[in-house]
Amino acid sequence: GQNIDQPTEMTATEGAIVQINCTYQTSGFNGLFWYQQHAGEAPTFLSYNVLDGLEEKGRFSSFLSRSKGYSYLLLKELQMKDSASYLCAVTPNNRKLIWGLGTSLAVNP
Amino acid sequence: NAGVTQTPKFRVLKTGQSMTLLCAQDMNHEYMYWYRQDPGMGLRLIHYSVGEGTTAKGEVPDGYNVSRLKKQNFLLGLESAAPSQTSVYFCASSPGASGRTDTQYFGPGTRLTVL
């Protein structure tokens, strides 16, 4: 079957660094997405990885290892506004996105 | 650009009533999607469309119908609402369905309660 696993909840402190992991098992691979979703709002696009390695975008970075079926989202210099759910999604070969259940991140002062 | 818009934002229905949710996008995207999101279940695809005049079933299509008569609009219909359809409904669109073009842009959501 096709499956995406993420931790359900994480807690971190303002100003710290947090890493949110995502592992996947899919029929083929055509890219991995990270989305952010604040409570009561819609998901918004954060990053896309298709090649192995680290993609940096400001305070957020996303890493991919295709051979290990593994990705992580790294959030630096955490701010209170980073409290949200982070969704990992994978595109199998030319098929519809498969979504993880999301990781709820709470940033404490 | 408004991006993806949805109407209505909130709705309460009684069991057996019908309603239509409207989604509109102004990004000229080919692909459009309807999802529902429930606690502990994540985003589940109801129906999707790969272009004007086309529709296809997603993961949880039962009890819903869709139409895409115009490229910019995607309608989701509930013919006879049931309490199990209480959920938050998101519409999304993407330029394509391969690689980075599969980046989906979401509307603000419709919160539906069926009593």
Using the predicted structure, report yes or no on whether residue B109 has a pLDDT greater than 90. yes
Please, which pLDDT band fits residue A94 given cuts at 50, 70 and 90? low
Q: Which residue has the higher pLDDT, A95 or A91?
A: A91
Instruction: Kindly determine whether residue A31 and residue B99, on different chains, have CB atoms separated by under 8 Å.
Output: yes
Using the predicted structure, report yes or no on whether residue B47 has a pLDDT greater than 70. yes
A17 and B CB contact within 8 Å: no
CA distance B115 to B109: 19
Judged on CB neighbours under 10 Å (0-12, 13-18, 19+), B101 is middle
Size of the A and B interface in Cβ pairs below 8 Å:
49
What is the spatial order of strands in the sheet that A18-25 belongs to?
A3-5, A18-25, A70-75, A60-65, A53-57
Using the predicted structure, report yes or no on whether residue A7 has a pLDDT greater than 90. yes
pLDDT score at A96: 81
pLDDT tens sequence across A66-87:
999 999 999 999 999 999 999 9
A47-51, B9-13, B93-97: least confidently modelled range: B93-97
